[in-house]
Amino acid sequence: MKNTRGFIAEERPDLIEEWHPLENNEDTLVNVRSGSDKIIVWRYKECEHVWKTQAKSRAIKNTVCPKCHERYNVSFPELKYNHMKSLLLYLL
């Protein structure tokens, strides 16, 4: 599958501070594209939890720290549903 997305540093500059500075070896924000399947190590800025997930999972699907959001750490359709539901509850 061809990947026409840009590099994470360009597309998602907000993720720069969550890219683990030491654990990603040769992978960097300027050579990994936001649609990449590559497993990246992240460090969430608010809690400093460290976890691994695909680049695209964060850059495109906007997943967040699974340790702080365990109830959202389920399959994607369900995740979307629960997230929408909690957003609605919050807004109402």
Site residues (CB under 5 A) for Zn ion? 44, 47, 49, 65, 67-68
CA 49 and chain centroid, separation:
13
Distance from C-alpha of 40 to C-alpha of 54, rounded to nearest angstrom? 6
Give least dist CB 44 to Zn ion, A: 5
Of 42 and 55, the one with the shorter C-beta distance to Zn ion is 42
Give least dist CB 80 to Zn ion, A: 20
**Phi, psi of 15, rounded to the nearest 5 degrees:** -90, -5
Tokens for 18, please give them.
């969550």
Of 32 and 65, the one with the shorter C-beta distance to Zn ion is 65
